[in-house]
Structure 1
C-alpha cells in the first residue's frame, strides 16, 4: 500500500499533498512518533475588506480654488500657479471622487502636498509644469486608500526618498539654478502672468515693449472688500449692464469701505498704546503739543443721537437731499450739514462736491423734530438723524501710498524690495500680485531698463501721450505728422515703445446726425489717420499704438450727443478701425520681406479708463479722458472767505456765513483746522518761489488742486450719478486703489502739467493743438526709467 503522503507522486492530483517548508509553521506534527504527516496549522486571518471604489469625477480648477487658496496661501504662505491648480484638481477628482468636499478629502490632500513642498525646500510659487509637484502627488497617491491619505504609509514612503528632484540632484546650487529668487523658472521673470515665452538669451526679452500690457476696464478682475475678514475677494457673479438695483447700493458701500479701512490704517487714526495721564494733561493744556499724540476717532452718524453739543469727526458721502439741503451719509444714517462756519482743509487746496467721501469735523446740534425726508418723524439707524451738524472743517481722506497698500517694506541685500503685510497677495489687475512676482519682476526691470547705459534703451523706454487728437481738424493732422516725424527720424531701436492717442477723436458728436455724415464721416476720419500713419512704417513696425476714446466717439455719443457718457465706456468699434489695422499688417509684412524678421507693431483699441502695466505689477499707468476740472468747478461747494462780511448766500450748496476773525468761534475753528490738517496728506513738494507770471502760478495751483482732489478720493469719477453715470457692476475699474505709479488725466480745460503726489506721478498732456497758439504741437513724454513725464512742444 502506498504511503498516504503521496511523495511517490502516483496519487491523483486531487489527493496530492503540497509539501511546504519546515519553517512555514513553528508548530510540529501532532504525532511525530507515529510518523504522521506534518500538516501545517493555519492561523486564522479575517478576510480583508474590499477597498472602497472611487468613482473619478471631473473637478474644475475654479471650483477647487477657494479651498486651495485657504490651504496653500492662508495656511502655508504658498501660491499656486494656474497649471499647478489644474494638476491638483485633476488628481483630487481622480483619487477622491465625489467626497472631495463633503468628507474633506481634498483639504487633506492639499495640506499634505503643501507640507511636503515646504519640507523639501520648495519656493513660494508652486509651479505645475515641472516634475517636483508631480513627484509629490505620486508619493501621496501610493499612500491613499479610499480617497484618504494614510499618514503612516506616507511618512514611511517619504523616509525612503531624500528629495523630489527639485533640481539636478539635491545640492543647494541645483535648487538655486532651477528656481532663481525662490521662484519657478516661469515665475522668476513673471512670465506666467504676462504670457511671454521665457528665452533667457533672447534679445526680445530685453525690449521694454515686450513687458508692456494693456488692461481694459472690462478685463480687470472684479474685487470686493470683505469688511469682516479684511481682505479682497473675487466677485463670482457675472457682471451685467442692467443689474439688480441693490448693486447701486453696493457700489457706494464699496467706496466707503475702502476709504474707511484706509483711514483706520493711517497713523493719525491709531490710538497709541503708551498713552498716559501725562499725555492727557498735555492735550488739555496745549493743542499744539497735543497734535502729535492725538488719535482721531470716527463717529458713526447714528451715534450722534442724544449727544447734542459734543464735538465729533464724521466720515461720509456728500449728497443733496430731495429738499435741497447738503447732507452727509454713511452706512448708519444721514444728517443735514450747516456749512456757515466751515473751512476747507487745506485752504483752497481741493474741491468738495456732492458724490465725494469727506471728513467733517464739527458739533452736533439736536432739535425736537427730524429734518429731511424722514417718514413719520422716524430717527435712527438707516434714516435721517434729527437736528443738524455744524461743520467747522471739511477735508478729504488722507491718501495712502502704493508701497504702503501693497506692503512693500524695504530693500533686500540685492536691492530688491521686500513685500510685507497689507494687500501684497491681491492681484488687482490680473498681471500677478506683489508677493507672487514683484521681487522677480523688479530684477527684470533693472536688467531691462537700468542694467545698461545704452542710449537705445533710454529711447525705447518712452511712452508718448497725445491728447485730444481731433481727426476732423486739418491742423491736428499736421501736428500729428510732425510728432510722428520727429520720432521716425530716430534709429529703429530708439523708437518709443508705445504711443497713446486719447480722444475725443472728433470735435463734435457726429454720430448724432443733425446734417453730418454720421458713421460714414467718422470712418473717413480714421481712414485719413491710416494714410498719415502709413507714411511712417518704422513706427508701425516697432511701436504699440493705443487708442483711448472720449465722450464724442461712438457708440455712446450716438445717445448722449456729446454729453457725459456712462463710465467705463467701450473702445471704438472695429467697424471704423479696419483701415488702420490693415496699415499695420502691411508695414509688418514689408519688414518681414526686407529683413526676414517678424515685427510685432500693433494698434490696440482700449477702453476709457484703461491701464498700462509694465513688468507685471511693478509699474502701472492709468489713462483717463474726462473734462474733470470744469465739472469740479461747476459742482463744488463754495466756502466763504474769512475776509468777507457780506450777507449770507441763498445758495443751498453754499455756506451762508463765516465768523469774525476775532470771535471765539473763529478761534475755535482755527484750532480745529490745525488739528485736522495733521491728518491730511500733503503734496510732497518743497515750497518754491512763485514765478512772476501770475498765469503760470494759477495753472500750477489748479493742477495741484485737481491732483489732490482725485487721489485723495481714490476714485476717477467722484460725482453724483446724475452728473456722471457709472455702470454699477464695473465701478471697480474706476478705483485708484492701490495708487498707480503714474496717472494720465486728459483734461482739455486744465493746463498741461506733471506733478508727483504721494508717490504717484500725475500728468495732463493737454490738447495736441492748444488753443491760442498757432502752429504749436504739445504732448507728454513719459520715461519708464525715471517714472517721470515731461511736456514737449514742436512747431509745424
Structure 2
C-alpha cells in the first residue's frame, strides 16, 4: 500500500451520479464519452447538471430533508423540509406556502416567456452566512403564487461530513490514487499514520524564486529544519514576482537551479524530504483556465536531476498520505469571490469563515461564473470537493487563516513575501497546524 501519493487533476477518477440507481457510477459504466480539453456543448451542460445532482442527493440525505417515520412525534415532522422542483410549482394554480427550491444564481441575458415563468422572483433579502456569487447553488425559501416565486431567505445547501458520505456509498475511491478502494478503510495505513508522529508538511505560497530575499528566507527555513527534515515541502506559485515577459521561462529555469543548489547544501533535507510544486495563476502555462497543467518539462528537467524527490504537479492537485486526503488549490479566490458577490456579508471581518463555508457547501473549488473563472468543461469534476477532504489548502494572497468546518481543516498559508514570510506546518498524526 502506498503511503504518499501525488494525484494530478487529469488523473482523478470521474464518477457520475445516477439518480435512478441512487449511486455514483464510474465513467466507464456510463454512456458519457471520455473527457477532452476541447469540450463540446454537452460537456458544458453536464458541468452544471453534475454540480446540481451532487448537491441534490446530498440535501435529500440531510436530516432536515428526510421524511419523518410514521410513528414520529408531530413536532418532529413540523421541523422537516421538503425540496420542491420548479416543474412541481408550475403545475400549481393555488398559492403554495413554505416552499424550498434548489437553484443556481444566474443573470438572464435573454428574456423569453418560458424564462419568465421559470425565474419570476421577488426578494425580501435575508441571506444566511456565506459568499453568494453568480453560479452558486442555493436553497431559496418562500412561497409561490401566480407564477411568481417570492423568496424570503437564501441559504447554502447543508454540508456533509466525509464519514456520512462513505457510510452511504461504501469504499468507492472518489479521491484517486493507486488504491482500488478508499484508503479510509485501511487499518494498516491508519496505524502507520498515528505512529509516525514526526511526519510534517510545510506549505508555502507565492515562492518568488527571482527575489533574493525569498531565497534567503528559504535558506533560513532549510537551516532550521535540517536537524528534523519535514516529510514534504509544498511550494505553490507564482514562482516569479514579475509574470510574463519574453525572458520568463529562461529566468524561471535559472531560479529553480538556484533553489536546487540551496537544497543540495542541506544533505538531510535533500535525502529525506519530498518537494511538490503547484503552479500559480501567473506561471508559464496555457492561460488562466482550470485545471492548470504542471510547469513544462523543459523548465523543470534540470531541477529534477538535482533533486530527485521532486514532483511538479497540476493546479489543483490531490495528496493522499496514509488515510488522509488533502486537496491543494493555488488561486486568488477570496478576492475574486468577494468582488463577484451578489451580496457582501455584513461581518466582513469574518471573510475566511464565509469563504470556507461557501466552498464546502458548493462541493466545488471555484463556484464562480465561467467568464470569471474559466474551467475546461469536461474536467470540471477535478475541482470537486466531495466527499469532503481531511485538509483543504487554498493558497491565496489573502491574509493567512486556519478554519475548521464539517470535519475539514481549511488552511491558507498566505503569500510568503507579502505576509512577512509566513507559512503553515501541518502534523498529520494529530491533525494540527502551526504558523
TM-score, structure 2 length as denominator? 0.92
Q: Which residue of 2 aligns with 1:577?
A: 300
Q: Which residue of 1 aligns with 2:206?
A: 468
Q: Which residue of 2 aligns with 1:705?
A: 354
Please list the CA deviations of residues 378-404 of structure 1 after superposition, one character each: whole Å capped at 9, or x if unmatched: xxxxxxxxx432211100000000000
The answer to whether structure 1 residue 606 and structure 2 residue 345 are counterparts is: no
Please list the CA deviations of residues 398-454 of structure 1 after superposition, one character each: whole Å capped at 9, or x if unmatched: 0000000111xxxxxxxxxxxxxx11231211443657x644x233332x3434xxx
The answer to whether structure 1 residue 633 and structure 2 residue 429 are counterparts is: no
The answer to whether structure 1 residue 432 and structure 2 residue 173 are counterparts is: no
Matched-pair contact (CA < 8 Å) for 2:239–2:252: no
Q: Which residue of 2 aligns with 1:442?
A: 187
Residue aligned with 1:778, SS: coil
The aligned runs of 1:559-570 (5 Å cut-off) are: 560=287, 565-570=288-293
CA distance in 2 between partners of 1:638 and 1:318 (Å): 12
Please list the CA deviations of residues 42-75 of structure 1 after superposition, one character each: whole Å capped at 9, or x if unmatched: xxxxxxxxxxxxxxxxxxxxxxxxxxxxxxxxxx
The aligned runs of 1:338-353 (5 Å cut-off) are: 338-339=122-123, 341-345=124-128, 349-353=129-133
Matched-pair contact (CA < 8 Å) for 1:328–1:337: no
CA distance in 1 between partners of 2:233 and 2:111 (Å): 46
CA distance in 1 between partners of 2:298 and 2:95 (Å): 64
CA distance in 2 between partners of 1:500 and 1:755 (Å): 19
CA distance in 2 between partners of 1:317 and 1:706 (Å): 18
CA distance in 2 between partners of 1:359 and 1:449 (Å): 39
The answer to whether structure 1 residue 478 and structure 2 residue 264 are counterparts is: no
Distance 1:524 1:715, change over 3 A: same
Question: What RMSD, in angstroms, separates the aligned Cα atoms of the two structures?
Answer: 2.4
The answer to whether structure 1 residue 786 and structure 2 residue 434 are counterparts is: no
Kindly state the Cα deviation for residue 291 of structure 1 after the two structures are TM-superposed.
7.0
CA distance in 1 between partners of 2:24 and 2:93 (Å): 35
Q: Which residue of 2 aligns with 1:390?
A: 150
The answer to whether structure 1 residue 235 and structure 2 residue 23 are counterparts is: no
CA distance in 2 between partners of 1:463 and 1:328 (Å): 50
CA distance in 1 between partners of 2:345 and 2:161 (Å): 32
Distance 1:240 1:293, change over 3 A: same
CA distance in 1 between partners of 2:418 and 2:94 (Å): 55
Residue aligned with 2:5, SS: strand
Q: Which residue of 2 aligns with 1:255?
A: 51
CA distance in 2 between partners of 1:612 and 1:430 (Å): 9
Matched-pair contact (CA < 8 Å) for 1:754–1:790: no
Q: Which residue of 1 aligns with 2:79?
A: 294
Please list the CA deviations of residues 282-332 of structure 1 after superposition, one character each: whole Å capped at 9, or x if unmatched: xxxxxxxx577422111111222234542311101111110599x999xxx
Kindly state the Cα deviation for residue 518 of structure 1 after the two structures are TM-superposed.
3.5
2:66 equivalent among 257, 270, 284: 270
The answer to whether structure 1 residue 458 and structure 2 residue 176 are counterparts is: no
Q: Which residue of 2 aligns with 1:317?
A: 104
Matched-pair contact (CA < 8 Å) for 2:328–2:392: yes
CA distance in 1 between partners of 2:172 and 2:197 (Å): 32
CA distance in 2 between partners of 1:614 and 1:752 (Å): 24
Matched-pair contact (CA < 8 Å) for 1:479–1:769: no
CA distance in 2 between partners of 1:240 and 1:581 (Å): 29
Distance 1:317 1:295, change over 3 A: same
Matched-pair contact (CA < 8 Å) for 1:479–1:768: no
Q: Which residue of 1 aligns with 2:252?
A: 522
* Structure 2 segments unaligned to the other structure (5+ residues): none
CA distance in 1 between partners of 2:320 and 2:53 (Å): 26
Distance 1:640 1:633, change over 3 A: closer
Matched-pair contact (CA < 8 Å) for 1:344–1:639: no
Q: Which residue of 1 aligns with 2:135?
A: 355
CA distance in 1 between partners of 2:163 and 2:125 (Å): 34
Q: Which residue of 2 aligns with 1:224?
A: 16
Please list the CA deviations of residues 162-206 of structure 1 after superposition, one character each: whole Å capped at 9, or x if unmatched: xxxxxxxxxxxxxxxxxxxxxxxxxxxxx2xx3xxxxxxxxxxxx
Whose relative contact order is higher, 1 or 2, with alpha carbons under 8 Å and at least 6 apart? 2
Matched-pair contact (CA < 8 Å) for 1:220–1:733: yes
1:770 equivalent among 401, 418, 421: 418
CA distance in 1 between partners of 2:400 and 2:229 (Å): 24
Matched-pair contact (CA < 8 Å) for 2:194–2:430: no
The aligned runs of 1:150-189 (5 Å cut-off) are: none
Matched-pair contact (CA < 8 Å) for 1:343–1:639: no
* Structure 1 segments unaligned to the other structure (5+ residues): 1-190, 195-210, 280-289, 367-386, 408-421, 452-456, 586-601, 642-696, 792-796
2:409 equivalent among 753, 761, 766: 761
Matched-pair contact (CA < 8 Å) for 1:629–1:706: yes
Q: Which residue of 1 aligns with 2:325?
A: 620
Residue aligned with 1:391, SS: strand
CA distance in 1 between partners of 2:41 and 2:292 (Å): 20
Q: Which residue of 1 aligns with 2:235?
A: 501
Please list the CA deviations of residues 616-650 of structure 1 after superposition, one character each: whole Å capped at 9, or x if unmatched: xx210100011111111111112797xxxxxxxxx
Kindly state the Cα deviation for residue 698 of structure 1 after the two structures are TM-superposed.
6.2
Distance 1:640 1:328, change over 3 A: farther
Matched-pair contact (CA < 8 Å) for 1:568–1:727: yes
CA distance in 2 between partners of 1:354 and 1:324 (Å): 18
Kindly state the Cα deviation for residue 534 of structure 1 after the two structures are TM-superposed.
2.4
